[in-house]
Amino acid sequence: MKRIALFASGSGSNAEKIADYFADSTNVEITLVATNNPKAGVIERARRGFGRQTHVPVLVFDRTTFYETDRITELLQKQGIDLIVLAGFMWLMPGGLVQAFPNRIINIHPALLPKFGGKGMYGHFVHEAVVAANETESGITIHYVNERYDEGQIIFQASCPVLPTDSPEDVARNVQALEHRHYPRVVADVLQTMNY
């Protein structure tokens, strides 16, 4: 059994797509949903359950626990987590956690990195910046996570056009459609390539 920990800070639509994708799998399990946000929509989604998995444990943690202790890393190790999947998780991963899971943490970013990445470039801010820069395309980047925002090795990108009349909301909608279409399959591909 391969075990995934999903980290999310917001609504969790990507987390849900990934969990749905593996819901009937006999060799991949969503072992844990983790969030820094007690009001995150992902909590309710996890409690409702994903497919056959009727209840997925949710871990809510605060900044002090995440950055100043090893408790999250230890818990993930104890649970035998193989892959940490960030799905709209907005905090930088601490160094100790990155080192404990080398090439075992992946993230999705709602733009074509290296453009529109880095601190402060997340969620809606990214789409606003893309429109303000008169870009003709945007898209998604799925990448390994290191100790710097959005700089890990790129695994997959997909693009969509940005029209001169598009608002940030239009871009967000098109980018999210790409995320939902590709992220679950890329997670499956990464699991396949991992050596045990």
Q: Which residues bind ligand GAR (CB under 6 A)?
A: 8, 10-15, 87-88, 108-110, 122-123, 176, 179
Taking CB atoms, the residue at the shortest distance from ligand GAR is 88
Kindly state the smallest distance separating residue 189's Cβ from ligand GAR, in Å: 18
Is residue 14 marked as binding? yes
Options 109, 127, 143, 182, the catalytic residue:
109
In the bound state with ligand GAR, the residue whose beta carbon lies nearer, of 1 and 177, is 177
Q: Where are the beta strands (DSSP E) in 50-174?
A: 58-60, 83-86, 105-109, 137-144, 154-161
**13 labelled binding-site residue:** yes
Four-point Cα dihedral 73, 74, 76, 79, nearest 10: 170
CB closer to ligand GAR, 71 vs 112: 112
Provide the minimum distance between the beta carbon of 152 and ligand GAR in the complex, in angstroms, as a whole number: 12
CB of 17 to ligand GAR, least distance (A): 8
Beta bridge partners of 60: 35
CA distance linking residue 180 with residue 18, whole number of Å: 8
Catalytic (active site) residue 109: yes
Residue number with CB closer to ligand GAR (10 or 152) = 10
Largest CA distance in the chain: 50
Q: Cα separations (Å) of 52 from 7, 30, 49, 112, 157?
A: 20, 11, 8, 34, 30
Structure tokens at 80: 């035998």
User: Residues annotated in the binding site, as ranges?
Assistant: 12-14, 63, 107
User: Residues annotated in the binding site for (6R)-10-formyltetrahydrofolate, as ranges?
Assistant: 63, 107
Please give the positions annotated as active site: 109
